[in-house]
Amino acid sequence: MTDLVLTTFDWVPELPRGYVRDLRVRWALEEAALPYRVASVPFRNRGAEHFRHQPFGQVPWLTDGDLSIFETGAILLHLGERSEGLLPSAPEARSAAIQWLFAALNSVEMATLPWALFLFAGDSAETPGRKHLDSFVEARLRHMDGLLAGREWLAGSFSVADILMADVLRLVDRFDGLTPFAACRDYMARATARPAFVKAHADQLAHFAAAD
Amino acid sequence: MTDLVLTTFDWVPELPRGYVRDLRVRWALEEAALPYRVASVPFRNRGAEHFRHQPFGQVPWLTDGDLSIFETGAILLHLGERSEGLLPSAPEARSAAIQWLFAALNSVEMATLPWALFLFAGDSAETPGRKHLDSFVEARLRHMDGLLAGREWLAGSFSVADILMADVLRLVDRFDGLTPFAACRDYMARATARPAFVKAHADQLAHFAAAD
């Protein structure tokens, strides 16, 4: 019996397809081979029920029986409790995976997502703040590149940390930001070659295409 | 016997004092009344040992016996396992606190910290990307304001989520970004009036002042 329900939008414009954050949760669910179903909420009219589950009006959220969880980091940590393949249970390995899960979101994506907003807007104005932001991104990716040159996965074996970090890097790559960082590119390619990613990505594209 | 060691810089310039992220960990440690000591690493010459503990060359990190943890989110989650006052153990309350801990970092700070970089640089150029970033910040704070108007703390009782969210909002407030958001301001004032915050903040200022 399925008790995991992943909720995403019923439809999104062409541009974010393949990058909507339900992908991170689908990927984890596929890695762990956990049964789940996908539910939809309107993209255009976000109602009170939507905000009750996701207070910023975003997606995804996951329900697990009576529990409703938003934030992909929190969802992946929750799923990690169900699968050794997502989050090792040995204290040291577990701690390493959790710190890298946070690093993906708060040390790397905190720089790269706002940077992507500027690229998305076609904004190439070299203002002082923009220079700060570009340096912030460059420094974080440079450190990641040095680190990833020496390891296959972030925390020993593949874990939820790699799902988040690889997906964060995918968006950078979309705007050609990984060109100077060969180890980041190799890592991203390694992660997205996994069958669980391939299926999750195809499923997200099919989900949104079905609503066109 | 003390086995928790919090490592921060030996010195930082005037501007970031009171905002260095060891504050978040000090605050949690004070809330939980856990014994700890503070160690320092050079701000100016960051060595290989530093990068071994914190791969981005930042602070803080926490050692707990043999375990070394970076990322304040991961550290606070780790400390939460030791204190019901930081992280409730009942499944539903625990899940709520964890999702809000992630929301502070990945839904709010991911918008506000890059925004603060622009303010810090005195950058007021209204470029298309900057307008995206400002709207991103405004939307996240507006949702938080509506939500905080109806609750004292994010997840029922005070938790690690409030430490992170309140500290994220402090930086916004420093650049006058909370002016339109009365509930965010009240929440921040409520959080920072707690004796544990007051002590953590004073301790951080004293730590850096001692090195002048």
Over chain A (212 residues), the average pLDDT of each successive run of 10 is 88 97 98 97 96 97 96 98 96 97 98 97 96 98 97 97 98 97 98 98 98 90
Angle A160-174/A72-80 helices, nearest 10 degrees?
Answer: 150
Q: Which of A28, A150, A26 is nearest to A83 (CA)?
A: A28
Confidence of residue B1 (pLDDT cuts 50, 70, 90): very low
Contacts of A99 in chain B (CB under 8 A): 69-71, 74
A33, with CB counted inside 10 A (0-12, 13-18, 19+), is exposed
DSSP strands (E only) in A23-139? 37-41, 61-64, 67-70
**Cβ within 8 Å of A, B 43-62:** 55-58
Same domain, B98 and B79: no
Are A65 and A107 members of one domain? no
Q: Higher confidence at residue B209 or residue A2?
A: B209
Contact B73 A118 (CB under 8 A): no
Residues of B in contact with A74 (CB under 8 A): 95, 98-99, 101-102
A181/A95 same-domain check: yes
Do A128 and A178 belong to one domain?
yes
Same domain? A81 vs A102: no
Q: Are residues B38 and B96 located together in one domain of the fold?
A: no
- CATH at residue B34: 3.40.30.10
pLDDT over 60 (residue B62): yes
Together in a domain, B28 and B66: yes
Task: Check whether residue B185 and residue B141 sit in a common domain.
Answer: yes
Q: Are A184 and A141 in contact (CB under 8 A)?
A: yes
CA distance B53 to B69: 7
Q: What is the pLDDT of residues B118-130, one digit of tens each?
A: 999 999 999 999 9
Q: How many separate domains does chain B show?
A: 2
Give residue B130's domain range: 91-194
B104 and B170 together in one domain: yes
Name the 3-class secondary structure at A5: strand
| Confidence (pLDDT) at B155 | 96
Q: What's the mean pLDDT when you consider all of chain B?
A: 97
Q: Are residues A189 and A200 in the same domain?
A: no
Distance between CA atoms of residues B37 and A169, nearest Å? 36
Strand partners, B64: B4, B67
**Is the Cβ pair B71, A103 closer than 8 Å?**
yes
Domain of B159, CATH number, reads 1.20.1050.10
Give mean pLDDT, residues B148-161.
97
Residue B41, H or E segment: strand B37-41
The answer to whether residues A71 and B107 touch, using CB atoms and an 8 Å cutoff, is yes
B200/B155 same-domain check:
no
Quick one: A137 and A180 in the same domain? yes
Instruction: For residue A70, list chain B residues with Cβ-Cβ distance below 8 A.
Output: 99, 103
Mean pLDDT of all residues in B139-167: 97
pLDDT on residue B190:
98
A136 HSE (CA, 13 A, CB side): 24
Q: For residue range A11-42, what is the model confidence (pLDDT) as tens digits?
A: 999 999 999 999 999 999 999 999 999 999 99
ipTM above 0.95, yes or no: yes
Predicted confidence at residue A2, as pLDDT, reads 56
Within the 134-153 window of chain A, which residues sit less than 8 Å (CB to CB) from chain B? 136, 139-140, 143, 147
Question: Residue A52: which residues within 8 A CB-CB, separation 6 or more?
Answer: none
- What's the pLDDT at B71? 98
Name the residue facing B129 among A117, A128, A131 (closest C-beta): A117
Record the tokens describing residue A139, joined without a space.
Answer: 């420094």
Q: Could you tell me if B93 lies within 8 Å of chain A, comparing CB atoms?
A: no
Pick among A4, A78, A102 to test the B interface (most B CBs inside 10 A):
A102
pLDDT confidence of residue A1: 46
